[in-house]
Amino acid sequence: MQPPSPAPVLVTGASSGIGAAIAREYARRGVPLVLTARRGERLRALAAELAPRVACEVLVADLARPGAAAHVHAALGERGIRVGGLVNNAGYGVPGDYLTPSWARHADFLQVMVTATCELTWRLLPDIRAGGQGRILNVASFAALVPGAAGQTLYAGAKSFLVRFSESLALENRRHGVRVCALCPGFTRSEFHDVTGTRALVSQLPRWMWLDADAVARAGVDGVERGRTVVVPGLPYKALRAAIRLLPEAVLHTAMARGSRRIRDAG
């Protein structure tokens, strides 16, 4: 008798970068997928790529819109899909001084990074619990684990929230068989910095600070499957995290201020 097929995993922000890499990693493991993002053409291309391995559904949605999470949930119901896992990956950065962008741009950012993540998790959690082996992977950032840098006023805060949210959610849902993990990668090769317009600045960083998106995805999926609550991919970042825990807060803030200034001056 063959084991039952795994329930689908929904991946937000699946059209590129870490989101697409996580979708490919799940497909490699034979897990069906629901892919969602704003860019329908890219989603359909990825679904076609993965279709020989697993069933893929595409849901085009812009999570910056307040009703998007409810729309995604309703669309799953209409298609008769009950997900067993969720990857909250959709996100981006708003570069520059806090007062430079309009509040409308900040509000869209918070809607995608915090509100939509929480609402989508809340709406899908009953189905994820029902299977008894649910998984939730929240893509945070190494920025959540260090003092905030200039130009990351909301980004670091939102990612820090994701880590704490994941930790609490993991404790609350352990008895339901649901594993929750915050993935905290450092600088990762993807389109992220092209979209935010910071490619020239981050290109000044040494090569050892850059991670491969496929390796990050593998670390995240492995981590949530093993019941890890926080995963930091890459030996250099693991070492940095250990060092940060030992350094006085004043030293860390001084180092972050100097590092931010050096990157800005290099640009």
Q: Is residue 4 part of a domain?
A: no
Residue 193 lies in a domain: yes
Domain encompassing residue 166: 9-266
252 assigned to some structural domain: yes
Of all helices (H) and strands (E), which one includes residue 10? strand 9-12
User: Mean pLDDT across the chain, nearest whole number?
Assistant: 89
Whether residue 61 lies inside any domain: the answer is yes
Catalytic residue numbers, as ranges:
155
What is the 8-class DSSP label of residue 96?
S
The verdict on residue 104 lying in a domain is yes
3-state secondary structure of 194: helix
pLDDT in tens, 170-217: 999 999 999 999 999 998 886 554 454 444 555 566 677 789 999 999
DSSP 3-state of 148 = coil
pLDDT digits (tens, 9 = 90+) for 69-112: 999 999 999 999 999 999 999 999 998 889 999 999 999 999 99
- Does this model's pTM top 0.85? My answer is yes
Q: How far is CA 263 from CA 153, 248, 250, in A?
A: 16, 23, 20
Is residue 218 domain-resident?
yes
In a domain, 157, yes or no: yes
> Where residue 167 sits, what CATH number does that domain have?
3.40.50.720
- 127 in any annotated domain: yes
- The number of folded domains in the chain is 1
Q: Quick one: CA torsion of 43, 44, 46, 47, rounded to 10 degrees?
A: 110
pLDDT more than 70, % of the chain = 85
pLDDT tens-digit series, residues 29-41: 999 999 999 999 9
- The tokens for 33 are 């997928």
Q: What is the pLDDT of residue 202?
A: 52
